[in-house]
Amino acid sequence: MALNSKVPKGPIKDKWTDYKNHINLVNPANKRHIDVIVVGTGLAGGSASATLAELGYNVKAFAYQDSPRRAHSIAAQGGINAAKNYQGDGDSTYRLFYDTVKGGDYRSREANVYRLAEVSANIIDQCVAQGVPFARDYGGLLDNRSFGGVLVSRTFYAKGQTGQQLLLGAYSAMNRQIARGKIEMFNRHEMLDVVVVDGKARGIIARDLITGEIERHAAHAVVIASGGYGNVYFLSTNAMGSNVTASWKIHKKGAYFANPCYTQIHPTCIPRSGDYQSKLTLMSESLRNDGRIWVPKKMEDVMAIREGRKKPTDLSEEERDYYLERRYPAFGNLVPRDVASRAAKERCDAGFGVNATGEAVYLDFKSAITRYGKEQAKIHNIENASDAKIYELGQKIVEAKYGNLFQMYEKIVDQDPYKTPMMIYPAVHYTMGGIWVDYNLMTTIPGCYAIGEANFSDHGANRLGASALMQGLADGYFVLPYTIGDYLANDIRTGKISTETPEFEAAEKEVSERINFFVNNKGTKSVDYFHKKLGKVMWDKAGMSRNGTGLKEAMEEIKAIREEFWKEVSVPGTASEMNPELEKAGRVADFLELGELFAKDALMREESCGGHFREESAELDGPQKGEAKRDDENFAFVAAWEYKGEPADAVLHKEELEFNDIELKQRSYK
Amino acid sequence: MNLTLKIWRQKDASSKGQMVDYKVTEISEHMSFLEMMDVLNEQLVNSDEEPVAFDHDCREGICGMCSMYINGEAHGPDRGVTTCQLHMRMFKDGDTITIEPFRAAAFPVIKDLVVDRSSFDRIQHAGGYISVNTSGNTQDANSIPISKHAADTAMDAATCIGCGACVATCKNSSAMLFVGAKVSQYALLPQGQVEAADRVRNMVAQMDLEGFGNCTNTGACEVECPKGISLENIARMNRELMKASV
Ligand SMILES: Cc1cc2nc3c(=O)[nH]c(=O)nc-3n(C[C@H](O)[C@H](O)[C@H](O)COP(=O)(O)OP(=O)(O)OC[C@H]3O[C@@H](n4cnc5c(N)ncnc54)[C@H](O)[C@@H]3O)c2cc1C
Ligand code: SF4
Ligand code: FES
């Protein structure tokens, strides 16, 4: 099947308006006769469910947690972008569009990103109207901060808990619709397959995670909002239950999977400390506004610190290598995530890592605390303030800005970051790849949509900070509600979809057989054993830097782990009860297939791009020496994979990317 | 560290439960409490026993999913943290640790340590929202200035993660800290004023219907709340309810 992105014709700034003026609408009386299934209640699924219900459709929403409010989106810390230009620092729709396309290393779809920038301002208005308590300045107006990779302050935030507040906003909008009977909420339910009838998505098979019952649910359209697949690495900043199952199942039924190898590695996470570790904790990137990143200049100081003979605070300014400020003077500590992550890895690989594992750099707030302290002393007319007083005053300001993050760090690491610099290291965080969708957010299965982190379209090879929340809410509140109507307008005479059809029967049977296999297999190894093994191969060979040989090995090794998994996996308990091991088994089975496709995609992409450093592709000389080398001539396309059985047999379809409004340039932050 | 764990095991909502003893060895003080539970579960799976079911997801103290009652305290002995943020350095080698589900009539046990907290959702359905259309035709966000103080206080109330520790810890199983926090968030913002009276009446009525007990000002909830939600919110809820009733 040829890929048709369905991007509307015309100037980029008019595309979305023109599109909306010409699509088919569903008359309100008819919406009552149309059912929509939404899988996932994070920012994308929650906002979509509420809005579709508001419009009049009957929505059935699914989440594996016990309440929509607990979706993974709740964990987002830093903030959400919007081109409001409240600060008057020159922001505009075009600039947000430009920064996002450039930040994504020119691998996103221009038209989608422009639309995102266009609706971004609405998101803030909407959320404020819903009672989201964004930070305010003393004049009562909304406050902003800046984030990595941009030169304007366009990030709105609610302390370090922006995702939580935005999700609670969407959840409250859902609650209103649940109370009105327009949303039927299925908590603790997991979608395990999609049902396709006459080529169209017409329902799903779900498992009730309390009783184990397998259920059929029919609808006129299915929306996948199930989030990202970073947990393919086992260790990531994602919630423990985040998984690829919903996306993978629709992939197997005909939805193309785009750019699976695009993973964001976030630069400011708490380093790993031991084998027992179950997940990695992110420290919001907003910390880089005030924190300076460094490692010692001299190897002997590194050794002395590792052995506990010296403390980081013992080192003078001259003995420290502020490597981001040194290499990227224009952006300094605020370079985008991929650049900051690669630079940290480079220093650690060169032996300058400051903790026992050699995988940590410092994030230091000393200068900021002193700077703020002096400012405060002036404001309060304190003359000749002592260093201690200045520190105390400055610490208060830093605490107001990042207090909960500092507290979280202290709880985990058992060190006080006001007194000694934090240690950070990059970790798997977000997946830019996902289900391929056209401009309507429809997958290659008619009637099946993918929104939020589950789709691929807006972030390219690298995601700038504070843009995932924006995309999730843009898709759910403002884009999908229009585009899905265009499709559903043809369905007003279809009537109720029956679940008593051979297609539902077959899908249910397949799901049951798989579940029964797991509980009857009686192997010798736990699900986590396989997940950890997969994660190690992924990190070592398909992580931040990769090469052809390693990726070929990874494909072989993942296949072997998969084969062993299907022989040896052991799942205690039964299928007809709450059984968390069984849930994990199904998810890991899908990760084991995705992992191989991931490596295959990375192998094909013989360029360095975003956070993905392909060792064969680096700048050899000139001012960019050693930086990642993108290859626009050969790789300015979206890789959309079609399922053909074994992941190794997947077939590549290319969507060539067109850039009419932005010139492709070397991405320099020097 | 080597530890003895006494854990509540219950097959499902209708079965009878009991405490069962387990031993874990080589626990590092850097582990989180849930990582220690992972070690136990891995051990159980390897001996083909059913692992202990417990709720968890973010493991960052923000989703509100994890819910264990440890040595007689919701979320265990540390202050201001959820179970996933509790670290084993709070315990000593050789300790015996008692682990039970959050108990309250309105939180029935589903299995082992997993309880049903959907009563919290139903309270929210009753009025935990502002009735605004989500279609994007709202006015500019800066058209109603909100004082920094009001925004910050609303934010403090809004940080509640809906974990239910307040209920589990209260001798009356009262949900007033949770409901108070939600009512407060909206009561403090101009956007929430229009429906304030209906909101508080409906949410409080639903809370009573769900079988939560009454507040007798013991204050245990505030002490155990991982997010430092203050009793002030209960007072504000009562004031709002009074206002709504006159
Ligand atoms: C620690 C952290 C900090 C972050 N900080 C920021 C930030 O500051 N700014 C920013 O822009 N972005 C940030 N992000 C990224 C952002 O939070 C996510 O990308 C975004 O929230 C994803 O939203 P979503 O709605 O697509 O999916 P999710 O929120 O992941 O929701 C997935 C939903 O799908 C459901 N689900 C999954 N599979 C199934 C299934 N098979 N059946 C039924 N239901 C299923 C889940 O129950 C859940 O409801 C951060 C991420 C993390 C981890
Ligand atoms: S008030 Fe505190 S203890 Fe109660 S649910 Fe909210 S966060 Fe948990
Ligand atoms: S697992 Fe999310 S709060 Fe503990």
Q: Is the C-beta atom of B37 inside 6 A of ligand 3?
A: no
Average pLDDT, chain A: 95
> Mind telling me how many Å the CA of A416 is from chain B's nearest CA?
16
Q: Which residues contact A27 (CB under 8 A, 6 or more apart)?
A: A492
- Which residue has a Cα nearest atom 8 of ligand 2? B163
For residue A148, pLDDT beyond 80: no
Report ipTM for this prediction. Answer: 0.98
Mean pLDDT of A136-141: 95
Which of A639, A641, A617, A636 is CA-nearest to residue A627? A617
- Coil/strand/helix, residue B182: helix
Helix (H) or strand (E) holding B245: helix B232-245
Asked if residue A285 lies in contact with residue A335, where contact means CB atoms within 8 angstroms, the answer is: no
CA A23 – CA A46 distance, rounded (Å):
24
> Mind telling me how many Å the CA of A110 is from chain B's nearest CA?
23
For residue A355, pLDDT beyond 80: yes
Atom number of ligand 3 nearest to Cα B64: 3
Q: Which of A164, A171, A526 sits opposite B45 (nearest CB)?
A: A526
Residue A167 Cα to ligand 1 midpoint, Å, equals 10
Q: Catalytic residues of A, which ones?
A: 337
| Whether A278 and B32 lie within 8 Å, measured CB to CB | yes
| Whether B85 and A411 lie within 8 Å, measured CB to CB | yes
Average pLDDT, chain B: 96
> Mind telling me how many Å the CA of B51 is from chain A's nearest CA?
8
- Angle subtended at Cα A426 by Cα A316 and Cα A101, rounded to the nearest 5 degrees: 110
pLDDT tens for B178-206 read 999 999 999 999 999 999 999 999 999 99
Mean pLDDT of B60-76: 97
Q: Is the C-beta atom of B182 inside 6 A of ligand 2?
A: no
Q: Which of A130, A165, A481 sits opposite B132 (nearest CB)?
A: A130
Residue A95 Cα to ligand 3 midpoint, Å, equals 37
Q: Is the C-beta atom of B177 inside 6 A of ligand 2?
A: yes
Q: Is the C-beta atom of A165 inside 6 A of ligand 1?
A: no
Which of A172, A47, A69, A210 is CA-nearest to residue B162? A69
> Mind telling me how many Å the CA of A552 is from chain B's nearest CA?
31
| Whether B111 and A578 lie within 8 Å, measured CB to CB | yes
Q: Which residues contact A555 (CB under 8 A, 6 or more apart)?
A: A596, A599, A600, A603, A648
Secondary structure of A464-501 in HEC code, one letter for each residue: CCCCHHHHHHHHHHHHHHHHHHHHHHHHCCCCCCCCCC
| Whether B139 and A125 lie within 8 Å, measured CB to CB | yes
Which of A560, A590, A576 is CA-nearest to residue A520? A576
**In which band, very low, low, confident or very high, does the pLDDT at A1 lie, cut at 50, 70 and 90?**
low
Q: Which residue's structure tokens are 């906003």?
A: A169
Mean pLDDT of A445-469: 96
Set of chain A residues whose Cβ sits within 8 Å of the Cβ of B39: 276
Token pair for residue A379?
A: 């404001």
Is B57 an interface residue toward A (CB < 8 Å)?
yes
DSSP A418: T
The neighbouring-strand residues paired with A266 are A427
pLDDT tens for A49-103 read 999 999 999 999 999 999 999 999 999 988 999 999 999 999 999 999 999 999 9
Instruction: Tell me the whole-structure pTM to 2 decimals.
Output: 0.96
Residue A429 Cα to ligand 1 midpoint, Å, equals 11
pLDDT tens for B145-165 read 999 999 999 999 999 999 999
Q: Which residue's structure tokens are 């080698």?
A: B93
DSSP B5: E
| Whether B31 and A140 lie within 8 Å, measured CB to CB | no
Q: Is the C-beta atom of B57 inside 6 A of ligand 3?
A: yes
Set of chain B residues whose Cβ sits within 8 Å of the Cβ of A66: 55, 65, 116-118
Asked if residue A268 lies in contact with residue A341, where contact means CB atoms within 8 angstroms, the answer is: no
The neighbouring-strand residues paired with B68 are B101
> Which one-letter amino acid corresponds to residue A77?
Q
Give percent of chain A above pLDDT 90: 88
Which of A43, A290, A292 is CA-nearest to residue A145? A290
Q: Is the C-beta atom of B163 inside 6 A of ligand 2?
A: yes
Longest dimension (CA), chain B: 63
Measured in degrees and rounded to the nearest 5, phi and psi for residue A428 equal -60, 130
Q: Which residues contact A666 (CB under 8 A, 6 or more apart)?
A: A624, A630
Preferred mutation among A38, A80, A276 to probe B, highest tally of B CBs within 10 A: A276
Q: Which residues contact B108 (CB under 8 A, 6 or more apart)?
A: B13, B115, B116
Which of B67, B190, B85 is CA-nearest to residue B139? B190
Asked if residue A235 lies in contact with residue A280, where contact means CB atoms within 8 angstroms, the answer is: yes
CA B58 – CA B63 distance, rounded (Å):
6
> Mind telling me how many Å the CA of A319 is from chain B's nearest CA?
31
Q: Which residue of B has its CA nearest to A405?
A: B60
Asked if residue A70 lies in contact with residue B64, where contact means CB atoms within 8 angstroms, the answer is: yes
Ranges A152-166, A420-434, A621-635: which has the least confidence: A621-635
CA A22 – CA A15 distance, rounded (Å):
11
> Which one-letter amino acid corresponds to residue B16?
K
CA A142 – CA A180 distance, rounded (Å):
32
Q: Is the C-beta atom of B52 inside 6 A of ligand 2?
A: no
pLDDT tens for A171-223 read 999 999 999 999 999 999 999 999 999 999 999 999 999 999 999 999 999 99
Q: Is the C-beta atom of B227 inside 6 A of ligand 2?
A: yes
**A412 vs A497, higher pLDDT:** A497
- Which residue has a Cα nearest atom 1 of ligand 2? B178
pLDDT tens for A418-432 read 999 999 999 999 999
- Alpha carbon of A177 to those of A59, A174, B214: distances in Å? 9, 5, 29
| Whether A577 and B134 lie within 8 Å, measured CB to CB | no
DSSP B117: -
CA A601 – CA A258 distance, rounded (Å):
9
Atom number of ligand 3 nearest to Cα B84: 4
Ligand closest to A74 (CA) is 1
Q: E-strand spans in A560-650? A: 613-614, 637-642
What residues 119-138 of chain B have any CB closer than 8 A to a CB of chain A? 120-121, 124-126, 128-136, 138
Give percent of chain B above pLDDT 70: 100
| The predicted structure's pLDDT at residue A668 | 78
Atom number of ligand 1 nearest to Cα A452: 26
CA A283 – CA A315 distance, rounded (Å):
24
- Coil/strand/helix, residue B166: helix
Q: Which of B12, B130, B134 sits opposite A131 (nearest CB)?
A: B130
